[in-house]
Structure 1
Amino acid sequence: MTRRRVLPGLPLALGITLVYVSIIVALPLGALVFKAASLGFADYWAIVSSPRAVASYRVTVLSALGATLFNLVFGLALAWVLVRYRFPGRRLIDALVDLPFALPTAVAGIALTTLFAHNGWFGSFLSNFGIKVAYTPLGIMVAMAFTSIPFIVRTVQPVLEDLDPALEEAAQSLGGSDASIFRRVILPLLTPAILAGVSLSFARCLGEFGAIIFIAGNQPHETEITSLLAFIRLEEYDYQAAAAIASVLLITAFVMLAVTNLLQARALRYTVKN
């Protein structure tokens, strides 16, 4: 009796997948690591620890943290509203959530700069309160938040839709308040999805380039992000320095994803036990 394959054509499909992943993902990353490794440790350390590079790390990481925290609060609230309420224009707002995915990042950067410049719609209003967005670290956070918010909304939204209403009803029958039900019943079930969305959002913020360079001002030590510094080194034909700086972002992203996966696994085990 011939054993039937669960997935017809699996060897061919697996081979195509591995070739695709090798060419699109592994090969560029391998070239980056190889180029950075061609430097000696002393030269590598001198490049990645230079004052300008360290300042770009600080600007990038702090801005990414600020944008991610904003997306965590606003993205969770937006996902909650889209799932739990019905109102005119809901489908339009739901579609607009994916706009940063479809919109070229350069176009997003130009649009945000136009809106938040001192004479823009939002910028002129905020300037009355002494708040300047364009060409400041705050502008970097705005651009990062705009391009990365779909990750949190789209990871939390399906989990909210699949939550069993009986759990909340049972908690209400036991006298639980809305705040306690959210904190003790809903939030633990959402934690793995929130962690996944936060990690993806933070990783996108770290690597964002096109939307930021127009609104940041790109001043060294103040509003220069790490990806821009790597691009500048490329324009100077200093490929080894560009690879070294880019490798810092790569290592940071991998470490962050590993920590997030560990936290997700623990959250899932906690959810299953309870």
Structure 2
Amino acid sequence: MLHLTECPRDAMQGWPTFIPTADKIAYLNALLRVGFQTLDFGSFVSPKAIPQLADTAEVLDGLDLGQSGTHLLAIVANLRGAETAAQHPQIRYIGFPLSVSETFQQRNTNKSIAQAFDDVARMQELCARTGQEQVVYLSMGFGNPYGDPWSPGVLGEFTQKLDALGVSIVALSDTIGASTPATISPAFRELTAAFPNIRFGAHLHTTPDSWQEKVQAAYESGCRHFDGALGGYGGCPMAADQLTGNMPTERLLEFGVTVEEEPILNLEALTDALEWNQRIFAGHY
């Protein structure tokens, strides 16, 4: 069975106008009723950097988690954000973007890769104390526009360091839509073979005509955990002015049917969530 992380946070973060907090809560509650394994619901980052997510704590307070088996994931950019996320026990996963591109690490978190690894180590210690789990996203995981080094070997070097720190969940993140089957396949094939104790995920950005070949390449190379966003909205505003959308969750569900590994979801609730998705993203704000 495919394991899906639904990423409304990634869909909303670069949206040009502020989405009312009440509508965010209603949309996220609709997604919780669908039954995704994980919901990337918000981010504890500077509101100056990502104004859209300044209300994450308020949104969290409004979520109805009573009957949901979905685990919550919050993204942070530094130890301070992780400490804030750790104060909320209903959050299962704390996600941190560790870039394999020095240029993007500076651009995204104002730190070097070496400094970011220090943060990862301290966040791992924090999660050990709180019972939460850290998810490290290897951003620019399939190449970058800056000329910084990239190869499956570079990914392996980063993952080896993460493994030594005790990190057990690593997601290769496309960030700008640069991935192709030629970069996806060797990355997952080599990493899944070399680090059997780590759960690898794919956070792929895509254009409408290239989604299937990307998912197919990751799946055939051993990946079973995928991030998506309904409608394919979103992208990283810290990476480029023109955003390349997220992997549409609808396409992931289609793929799950073709390989007979479709996740078990509440389809009636999914219809309601899709209606909320269109209210929010189809030009109403």
Q: What band does the TM-score fall into relative to the shorter chain?
A: under 0.3
Q: Give TM-score, length-normalised by structure 1.
A: 0.27
Give TM-score scaled by structure 2 length: 0.26
Higher strand fraction (1 or 2): 2
Higher relative contact order (CA 8 A, sep 6+): 1
Flag the structure with higher helix content.
Answer: 1
- Greater Rg by CA: 1
